Amino acid sequence: MDKDTVIGKPQKEEPKWQALLTGNLAHFIHDGFTDMLYLFFPLWQAQWALTFTEAGLLKTVVSGSMAMFQLPVGIVANRIGQVKLLLIGTVITSLAIMLWGLAVSPILLGLLLLLGGLGSSVQHPVSSSIISDAYSDIRARRTALSTYNVAGDIGKAVLPASAAFLIAYCGWQTASRLLATFGLLATAILFIGYFGFRRPGSCSPQEKNQPTARALLLGWNGYQAFWSLASIGAIDTATRTGFLTFLPFLLQGKGASVTQIGFALTLIFAGGAIGKFVCGILATRLGVLRSVVVTESLTAICIGGMISLPLGNALLLAPFLGIALNGTSSVLYGSVPELVSEEQRKQGFSIFYTMTIGAGAVSPPIYGLISDFAGIKITVIFIAIVVLCTIPLTFPLRGKLAN
């Protein structure tokens, strides 16, 4: 008999609090690093005289490298261990950010962004899988994954605000080095937690027995709800990424300074953290699908307000935009385990994040091209229209998700 097996009792599970703490800290760091980029794009555009399309391509490099490695991450995690891979990815991302200030051309900067995106690609599928494996109950798992998503939004609020403060006082080169140092400190905390979470070199039985993603990739039959959910996530992410990439330029046109742009992003991301909680309440009262329809509709309305309102009023609208813009994601992420089998969970998360992050990679240069030809305002109006395309995709999900 296995020493971890007791008659009448299930196999020993990983400690829940350690799984949640590990995933939350990783999400805080990586999402914060990814979204503080929106502050740097206008600075890099001014330094190298980039077009909107070229600025969008810089975002594509980051999101594209993150999306490209989502599926391989699951295979690598099975071989070397999930937490160990999370540590390696966080170190790679932090070192890439530390070297930003040494970039003498946009090409070299693009290579560093590619490296940073590669490091961050491990975070979403690995952290989600770690937390999902630790919580077998559907309601507890959904709550844990919602908490995990809130941690990411807190990182989005804290690190861009810190970046805005540091850029204003010491320039973007020094700011990037200081923020990267913080990332390495966080890696040290994750390293300490790793030995309490899992023995070095060991994998859980779920990791050893995970199949490849072939079952989900075979076709549409049997997985219509999953693919609809992933498509909603892709459009939602494309909208959010495209809008946030060009929001600083929109605010610049209204006369905003770097500090004010950082403040606006902080308000949006803080609103996003609140949006996870608000959307959770909304889902319990209206249901998951109705809450998606409501939040996506409000997103389109708030984006329209950011276009038409003057700077002061736009800043007041920013937290409400954040609630609508980010509130949907926790419902989407938390629903993935309900639409695939337990054995396919890691691959389900990898595919879901490949589609969503991939959409976020493709959208910025497309919207940048539109901006170069039609202007920022027309582009943002187009983004507001695109987000409404998620509503018809909710129909295949009816009756598939737990209330």
Q: pLDDT (tens digit, 9 = 90+) per residue, 120-166? A: 988 887 888 788 877 777 777 777 877 887 788 888 889 998 999 99
pLDDT exceeds cutoff 80 at 314: yes
pLDDT at 360: 84
Partners of residue 9 on adjacent β-strands:
6
pLDDT at 201: 43
Reading the block at residue 306, the tokens are 């950011």
For residue 6, give the DSSP letter.
B
Q: Which of 4-18, 271-285, 372-386 has the lowest mean pLDDT?
A: 4-18
On average, the pLDDT of the chain sits at: 80
Q: What percent of the chain has pLDDT over 90?
A: 23
Q: What is the pLDDT of residues 74-103, one digit of tens each?
A: 678 778 778 888 889 999 999 999 999 898
Helix (H, G, I), strand (E, B) or coil at 86: helix
Q: What is the pLDDT of residues 111-122, one digit of tens each?
A: 999 999 999 988
What's the pLDDT band for 401 if we cut at 50, 70, 90? low
pLDDT at 83: 81
pLDDT exceeds cutoff 80 at 342: no
Q: State how far the Cα of 18 lies from the Cα of 147, in Å rounded to an integer.
A: 13
Q: Which of 27-41, 183-197, 248-262 has the lowest mean pLDDT?
A: 183-197
**What residues have CB less than 8 Å from 403, skipping those under 6 apart?**
284, 287, 288
- Whether residue 379 contacts residue 370, with contact meaning beta carbons closer than 8 Å, is answered with yes
Phi, psi for 295 (deg, rounded to 5): -65, -40
- Higher-pLDDT residue of 231, 94: 94
Q: Is the dihedral of CA 387, 393, 394, 397 positive or negative?
A: negative
pLDDT at 402: 54
Reading the block at residue 255, the tokens are 């006369």
Helix (H, G, I), strand (E, B) or coil at 114: helix
pLDDT exceeds cutoff 60 at 346: yes
What's the pLDDT band for 208 if we cut at 50, 70, 90? very low
Which candidate, 166, 181, 48, places its Cα nearest to that of 107? 48
Q: State how far the Cα of 196 lies from the Cα of 19, in Å rounded to an integer.
A: 10
- Whether residue 86 contacts residue 190, with contact meaning beta carbons closer than 8 Å, is answered with yes
pLDDT at 12: 44
User: Which amino acid is it at 12?
Assistant: K
Q: Which of 55-69, 198-212, 220-234, 355-369 has the lowest mean pLDDT?
A: 198-212
pLDDT at 222: 60
What's the pLDDT band for 180 if we cut at 50, 70, 90? very high
What Rg, from alpha-carbon coordinates, does the chain have? 20
pLDDT exceeds cutoff 90 at 215: no
- Whether residue 264 contacts residue 319, with contact meaning beta carbons closer than 8 Å, is answered with no
Q: What is the pLDDT of residues 235-260, one digit of tens each?
A: 888 888 888 888 999 998 898 888 89
Q: State how far the Cα of 115 lies from the Cα of 140, in Å rounded to an integer.
A: 35
Phi, psi for 341 (deg, rounded to 5): -75, 165
Q: What is the 3-state secondary structure (H, E, C) of 230-252?
A: HHHHHHHHHHHHHHHHHHHHHHH
pLDDT at 399: 62
Which candidate, 278, 281, 348, places its Cα nearest to that of 320? 278
pLDDT exceeds cutoff 80 at 218: no
Query: CA torsion angle for 48, 49, 54, 59 (degrees, to 10)?
Result: 50
Sorted by where each starts, the structural domains of the chain and their CATH numbers stand as 16-198+208-397 (1.20.1250.20)
Residue 307: CB atoms within 10 Å:
17
- Higher-pLDDT residue of 255, 397: 255
pTM: 0.73
